[in-house]
Amino acid sequence: MKKHAFSFFLLYTAIYLSLFSCHNSNKAQVAFNARYAVLTDTLTPKSFKLNKNLRMVSTGIKNSENTSVDVIDTFLICKTLNAPKILNVYGQRSKLFLGALINRGEEPGQCLGIANILPTSQKGIVWLFDITLGKLVKINLPLTLKDTTAKVLDEIVLAGKLRGAKSVTLINDSTFAACSYYYNDYRYFVFNKTNVLFKAGELPPSPVNWPSNKINGKFAIDAIIYNASLLFNSKTRQAVAAYNKTDRLEFYKDNQLVKIARGIDLFDPTVDFKEEGENLFMPVENTETRYAYIHIAGTDQSLYALNSSGNAYKSKGNRILTFSWDGKPEAIYKLDANYSGFAVAKSMNTTTCYALRNDSGEIYVTTL
């Protein structure tokens, strides 16, 4: 029996390498793929139990300043592009505009570019991650709606090795996880207000034709090109990293990699490079750059990933792929247009999806 099992493993590895060796030509990449072959699933549309077209219905909420949508408690929250206030808030049921929050600026208590809104275990209390200023701001959402002069509850400026954080997600009220633009030697890191607590995962090796930025505290080539959205399920201690320029999902349990999902379109990153200074290069998108996962959201039971179908839609996607938190494919939901962001809310046995079209700032809704 052991002999047959070992033979199966060798056959599986050989098939996996034959699928990807044409894309990953150097020895480091071949070895990397072989090391994780047993954890890797190659997805096709048939991998998913359900394949369904969705009919999206307008909520009547429309504002060209809105760039995203999140569901927090009974609110729909939209980040804004250039408005004086950084957030627009609407009632989830009423769809009425309830107010605009947080002055746009660089002073304490202000923000410039909110990338992530992180609900806490306390009702109405959220962290806002400002990727432009590199800081986390904690607010009482209902209180701030009633009194726009209310002070923020806390503010953390990410310094030292916490700089360059991207796609911050909440583990508990004092611990966070994030990917990084500055470091190539891990997939994500876990941190508190002042320190990196530990690191998890690793990035795929870079092809031989990529330059290398080796300056600490500067943008790292691999980290930028293999950038991913990160989401953490605090109840199950599971995490997912969804790559942007290659169709790759990584599933973690207790910060250990347990599953890799490649596909449905199977493509690797394609970029050009521009020299910005001595030993410093920056990746530049070109006409052949393709996009995979645009945004991810989750419930306690499932992960939802907005996918661009491998086309150059950049910040737009036209289908949502769903998975269990341990990496099992569940459903493909085909959307009626390209959307730039979405959010899901589960109530009893019903999962509601809100999606925003960035060409109009209009929010649509459907039931999954």
Residue-level pLDDT at 93: 93
Residue with tokens 């990293």: 241
Cβ atoms of 304 and 320 within 8 Å: the answer is: yes
Give the chain's residues under pLDDT 50: 1-24
Residue-level pLDDT at 173: 84
Residue-level pLDDT at 26: 73
Burial class of residue 102 (count of CB atoms within 10 Å of its CB; 0-12, 13-18, 19+): buried
Provide the number of structural domains found in the chain.
Answer: 2
Query: Do 74 and 169 fall within a single domain?
Result: yes
What CA–CA distance (Å, rounded) separates 227 from 192? 22
Enclosing domain of residue 193: 41-367
* Other Cβ atoms within 10 Å of 256 Cβ, number: 9
What CA–CA distance (Å, rounded) separates 24 from 269? 11
pTM for the full predicted model:
0.89
Cβ atoms of 239 and 255 within 8 Å: the answer is: yes
Q: Which residues contact 181 (CB under 8 A, 6 or more apart)?
A: 164, 165, 166, 219, 220, 223, 224, 227
Query: Do 17 and 84 fall within a single domain?
Result: no
Query: Do 25 and 75 fall within a single domain?
Result: no
**Nearest C-alpha neighbor of 331 from the set 39, 9, 35, 52:** 52
Query: Do 91 and 70 fall within a single domain?
Result: yes
Residue-level pLDDT at 2: 39
Residue-level pLDDT at 230: 97
Query: Do 13 and 87 fall within a single domain?
Result: no
* Other Cβ atoms within 10 Å of 277 Cβ, number: 9
Residue-level pLDDT at 216: 54
Query: Do 9 and 94 fall within a single domain?
Result: no
Cβ atoms of 139 and 128 within 8 Å: the answer is: yes
Residue-level pLDDT at 183: 87
Residue-level pLDDT at 16: 40
Query: Do 187 and 125 fall within a single domain?
Result: yes
Residue-level pLDDT at 314: 73
Query: Do 30 and 153 fall within a single domain?
Result: no
Query: Do 16 and 102 fall within a single domain?
Result: no
Query: Do 79 and 9 fall within a single domain?
Result: no
Query: Do 201 and 291 fall within a single domain?
Result: yes
Residues 271-308 pLDDT 10s: 998 888 777 788 888 888 999 999 999 999 999 999 99
Query: Do 109 and 149 fall within a single domain?
Result: yes
CATH number assigned to the domain comprising residue 47: 2.120.10.30
Query: Per DSSP, what are the bridge partners of residue 295?
Result: 306
